[in-house]
Amino acid sequence: MASVLYRLAVPRCSLLRRLAVPRRETQRLEHHGLHRDGTRLVAGGSRSLAACSRADSRSQHTAAEVSVEVDLKRLEGQDEGIVEVLMCRHRARNALGHTFVSQMRELVSTLSHDSAARVVIFRSLVPGVFCAGADLKERALMDNSESDLFVHSLRSLMTQIAILPTPTIAAMDGVALGGGLELALACDLRTASTSAQMGLIETTRGLLPGAGGSQRLPRMVGVTLAKELIFTGRRVGGQAALELGLVNRAVEQNQSGDAAYKEALTLAREILPQAPFAVRMAKEAINRGVEVDIGSAMAIERLCYARVIPTRDRQEGMAAFIEKRPPRYTGE
């Protein structure tokens, strides 16, 4: 249900207890998104809030604490349909470590099949930081093969985000460096506070952007400018990013430090009333079309348009126009 809140108390994500249940039973219940007692699971794992409160009374199970570094929140009321991906690895400034990436992959996978989600906002609960990039402490412990495999998993995560059928917005209220900026680049739209700092700084660490940044940045700001930013490892502020075409909107930071998030929410509210299936098809037409020649792109547009024609939302849109009233879209 769109009203379910997949988040623990804020502003900090807390520790959850994962109950150990027989593997066969766990697989059966997870397939239906339920816990043993029928409560709904938190997206991204076999956890439920009800199970947490009863963990101590279930002596037959062993409990282990698992830190939540990425969480999910579904907005309610007039904002129903807006989903927030909350990054909350406070001690490591949302660095892209194994646990963080694993939890993010699970949540994104869940959203890819969620028809109730109409707009997804990626935001940070860590003050002054969107995502600081790679977890260099973890990376230092990896050999060459392990490092290559981990970067491959990062690249795969960014692709997962990029191909989400739902429009996505990255709200950068602070630092977004290296893999953190690559995460934002994988989103459809970006908002930033003017005080935010962002850049693909990998060359300053003897690396190159390896999670899609070397490909997405040129497509966004142009080849020549992308080369300059990547070769120099330069950081730019929110206003400069707006002028470069790196972000869609830049706003002055507020006292609560969430100006970019509030701007992202404003943008999401502009998308929310539109026909959801039409928006998804528009995203697919754009994303697929920019990768091919114009003739092939026109064929892609035709296919996407053909999928919209038989929908109830198209009929509702026409009826609302004729009757001079706001449309009531259902996504059907």
CB atoms within 10 A of CB 264: 31
Q: What is the pLDDT of residue 85?
A: 97
Q: What is the pLDDT of residue 65?
A: 63
Residue 178 and residue 295 in one domain: no
Helix axes 276-289, 312-323, angle to 10 degrees: 110
Across the range 150-174, mean pLDDT stands at 96
Nearest of 40, 43, 150 to residue 86 by alpha carbon = 43
The structure tokens 């930033």 sit at 192
Q: Is the pLDDT higher at 195 or at 25?
A: 195
Annotated catalytic residues are 134, 179, 182, 202
Looking at residue 215, which CATH number applies to its domain?
Answer: 3.90.226.10
- pLDDT surpassing 80 at residue 329: yes
Query: What DSSP string runs through 17-66?
Result: EEEP--HHHHHHHHHTTB-TTSPBPBTTTTB-HHHHHHGGG-TTS-EEEE
Please count the structural domains in the chain: 2
Across the range 204-231, mean pLDDT stands at 95
- 63 is a domain residue: no
- 64 is a domain residue: no
The residue range of the domain holding 80 is 70-272
- Going across the sheet that includes 197-199, the strands are 129-131, 175-177, 197-199, 236-237
Residue 166 and residue 300 in one domain: no
Residue 101 and residue 226 in one domain: yes
Question: In this structure, what are the phi and psi dihedrals at residue 35, rounded to the nearest 5 degrees?
Answer: -90, 175
DSSP-derived secondary structure letter, 285: H
Residue 211 and residue 290 in one domain: no
- pLDDT surpassing 70 at residue 47: no
